[in-house]
Amino acid sequence: MDIKTVILAAGKGTRMKSETTPKVLHEIMGKTLLGYVLDNVKNISDENYVIVGHHAQEVTDFVEKNYKNTKTILQSPQLGTGHAVSMVCPQLENYNGLVLILCGDTPLIKEDTLKKFVEFHKEQNSDITVMSTIFENPANYGRIIRAKDNSVECIVEEKDATQEQKAVKEVNAGIYCLDWGKIKSAFSQLKNNNAQGEYYLTDIISWGKINKLNVNAYILENSDEIYGINSRSNLATAAKIMNKRNLNKYMEEGVTIVDPDSTWISEDTQIGQDTIIYPATYIEGKNIIGKNCKIGPCAHLRGDVEVCDNIKIGNFVEVKKAKINSNTNVGHLSYIGDSELGSNVNIGAGTITANYDPLSKTKSKTILKDNVKIGSNSVLVAPVTVEEGANVGAGSIITKNIPQWALAITRSPLKILNNWVKSKLK
């Protein structure tokens, strides 16, 4: 059965206190909140619709640049979550498959969880399935109210709940699976007679019951997965939850994380067995790290980095958009950006690839072939290629291509003024 996804991403995110960045484009380890959600449905859904509103153009630009099977639809004015989903009705007028509805500010939801959710919907022959979870302190969440047969009777928002309903600990996780052919007419019938004066998506539950549909709730065991981002504090908390999850996965796969409390690694990084990640290392974005590598301490991989086997990246090294082939060492206090390093290369401490021209705002590439040796405190001004086996003397500034097995050195003659210090002291 076909599955399409609707992602709610129109909210302003007032508590984020940001004038320039919409809530769903805030990042965790180099990846936007919306990006996490879209990546987690890419193997489930054949087409995605992102409902945009606040900073609509920025969100649309992000989607169009990064996700080919995703369209954005403007919600204006913004009259609630039910109204948001109704924006997609014209696009899905003749569609009768499943629709998965998620929020764009819940980056911790897992692909595997969503697959189990959809399977539960199918197994129960549900028309509407809502994801729920159990909170000991359910404040601020909509409550799941169940009927005597354990099906879902309705969802009551906290602002509209009675004291008895507020005592319910099963809450709405904000994720739905709908049999669209049976449910789409609900979105033209929702009412806004509530405390907020909005059209609630949650009201499709009671609508479904009135129309004799099969309505169920899938209880999510790990409630962390539906943690929503509404503030910078929430963002930091979600980042810690995600990072702990990532580090545990890498350690289970045979990677040594010397100090998990100070190490950050994105979920889009692949790491081979027996690699050691030393303390205070930060790895963001998409990267591939091979086997038997040593990274850090205090290293920073900024994304689009491919590191082959048996690589050493020393302390206080920054790497961005670079490929480093096997058996190569990058010494401490170095920057390697927009570069390709061959095998058996040695980068001395303090080496800089000068890849950015601030006048033209362009970046150029540095290529070091196999067996190249770069002396400490050197600057390689891109675009530049150092051919196989060439050496660069310490303290050199390289602005031209260097041929094979040559020595390149730019260094002023050393002057020694005997007794100069004593003469000054007199």
Q: What's the confidence (pLDDT) of residue 195?
A: 76
In eight-state DSSP terms, residue 258 is: S
The per-residue pLDDT for range 245-281, each reduced to its tens digit, is 999 999 999 999 999 999 999 999 999 999 999 999 9
**Arithmetic mean of pLDDT, 170-199:** 93
The per-residue pLDDT for range 49-62, each reduced to its tens digit, is 999 999 999 999 99
Q: What's the confidence (pLDDT) of residue 1?
A: 60
Q: What is the CATH number of domain 253-408?
A: 2.160.10.10
Q: Which residue would you say has higher pLDDT here, 394 or 193?
A: 394
Q: What is the DSSP string of 144-189?
A: EEE-TTSSEEEEE-GGG--HHHHT--EEEEEEEEEEHHHHGGGGGT
The per-residue pLDDT for range 121-178, each reduced to its tens digit, is 999 999 999 999 999 999 888 999 998 888 899 999 888 899 999 999 999 999 999 9
CA atoms within 13 A on the CB side of 38: 26
Q: What's the pTM?
A: 0.92
CA distance 238 to 234: 6
Q: What angle do CA 8, 14, 20 make, to 5 degrees?
A: 90
Structure token pair of residue 179: 């049999």
Tell me which residues are annotated as active site.
332
Amino acid found at 149 = D
Query: What distances in angstroms separate CA 230 from CA 12, 19, 235, 312, 364, one per listed residue?
Result: 10, 15, 8, 40, 39
Q: What's the confidence (pLDDT) of residue 126?
A: 96
**3-state SS, residue 211:** coil
CA distance 419 to 426: 11
CA distance 324 to 226: 37
pLDDT at 411 over 90: no
pLDDT at 426 over 80: no
In the chain, where does the domain assigned CATH 2.160.10.10 lie?
253-408
The per-residue pLDDT for range 233-245, each reduced to its tens digit, is 999 999 999 999 9
pLDDT band at 316 (very low <50, low <70, confident <90, very high): very high
Q: What's the confidence (pLDDT) of residue 194?
A: 79
pLDDT at 366 over 90: yes
**Arithmetic mean of pLDDT, 15-35:** 95
In the chain, where does the domain assigned CATH 3.90.550.10 lie?
3-226
CA dihedral of 18, 19, 20, 22, whole degrees rounded to 10: 60
What would you measure as the largest C-alpha separation in the chain, in angstroms? 102
Question: Alpha helix locations (H) across 295-376?
Answer: none
Residue pair 73/60 in contact (Cβ under 8 Å)? The answer is no
**3-state SS, residue 9:** strand
Q: Which of 303, 284, 292 lies closest to 246, judged by CA?
A: 284
pLDDT at 197 over 90: no
Average pLDDT, the chain: 96
Q: What's the confidence (pLDDT) of residue 300?
A: 98
The listed CATH number (3.90.550.10, 3.40.50.620, 3.90.700.10, 3.40.50.10130) that belongs to domain 3-226 = 3.90.550.10
